[in-house]
Amino acid sequence: MVLSLFLGSLVSLICGLDRVAILQIMISRPIVAAPLAALVLGEPLIGLQIGVMVELLWLARLPVGAAVPPDDTQVSIAASVLAVILGQTLNASGGELLLLCLFVAIPLGKFGQYFDQYARQYNVRLVKRVDSALKKESFLAAEGYHLRGLISFSLSSLASYSIIILGGLSIIPVLWPYVQQSLSYSSTWMQLAFPLVGIVVILGTINVSRAITLFCASFCMAFLLMWLV
């Protein structure tokens, strides 16, 4: 378990930095980050299932400019790690445990929003110090402040990941015996509900005059695909 948590934290760190600080090659998106974390732990399909369910929920809420949404990257990574670890610990498999991990991880992702805000506020103060260092032609000090800015985002990502992991490890084993049976009855419908809710969220944020038509078409298409399968 310790090794799995450590490997998950490395993925958390890399993807968290990609989110706003460096690179930004989109590996921080849940559809990529979750399978990547699960792949490191040897269960890529678990991460893919979680990534698919989470991606659409946050697709319209990007960390662009002054916008600071809850940390979808850490939610998807931590939920994947929790699903793999607790699946082995609780001897559980199937969509029920994945859903419970998501239900616990999503609200805890709000902490990631606060940590991200603190990191940005700290970096605003660093920018002033960088300006002062550049005026004094102290380039080494300016580089040091720049690295401290990356460290603040790194700590923010790791803090979000840790909160979700600790909360999940504390809550999920307690809830699992009580909700396992009910989730087994509704897991298929709930897994379908995640992308449908995501579609509604996206349609609510774009200017589409026929949003209701598009939603109904998507809804009917999802049911058609489920019937065909």
Q: Is residue 215 part of a domain?
A: no
> Do 85 and 40 form a contact (C-beta atoms < 8 A)?
no
Residue among 190, 212, 189, 186 nearest 200 (CA):
212
Residue 86, pLDDT above cutoff 80: yes
**CB atoms closer than 10 angstroms to residue 80:** 35
Q: Is residue 47 part of a domain?
A: yes
What pLDDT score was predicted for residue 165? 92
Query: pLDDT, tens digit, for every residue of 181-192?
Result: 777 776 667 766
Residue 161, pLDDT above cutoff 80: yes
Q: Is residue 81 part of a domain?
A: yes
Question: In a 3-state reduction of DSSP, which class is residue 176?
Answer: helix
What pLDDT score was predicted for residue 219? 66
Longest dimension (CA), the chain: 69
CA distance linking residue 163 with residue 114, whole number of Å:
12
Residue among 107, 100, 148, 112 nearest 12 (CA):
112
Residue 4, pLDDT above cutoff 80: yes
Place of tokens 């678990």: 46
Residue among 77, 226, 101 nearest 167 (CA):
101
Higher pLDDT, 49 or 214: 49
Q: Is residue 202 part of a domain?
A: no
What does the pLDDT average to over 38-53? 87
Q: Is residue 199 part of a domain?
A: no
- Of the candidate ranges 28-32, 149-153, 167-171, 205-209, the one whose mean pLDDT is the lowest: 205-209
What pLDDT score was predicted for residue 103? 86
What pLDDT score was predicted for residue 166? 92
What does the pLDDT average to over 11-33? 84
Q: Name, of 14-23, 57-66, 74-83, 219-228, the range with top average pLDDT.
A: 74-83
pLDDT band (50, 70, 90) for residue 153:
confident
Residues 6+ apart with CB under 8 A from 81: 4, 5, 8, 37, 38, 41, 165
* Mean per-residue pLDDT over the chain, rounded: 79
> Do 76 and 27 form a contact (C-beta atoms < 8 A)?
no
Q: Is residue 156 part of a domain?
A: yes
Q: Is residue 105 part of a domain?
A: yes
Range of the domain at 140: 2-185
What pLDDT score was predicted for residue 197? 67
Structurally, the chain folds into a number of domains equal to 1
> Do 8 and 37 form a contact (C-beta atoms < 8 A)?
yes
Residue type, 5: L
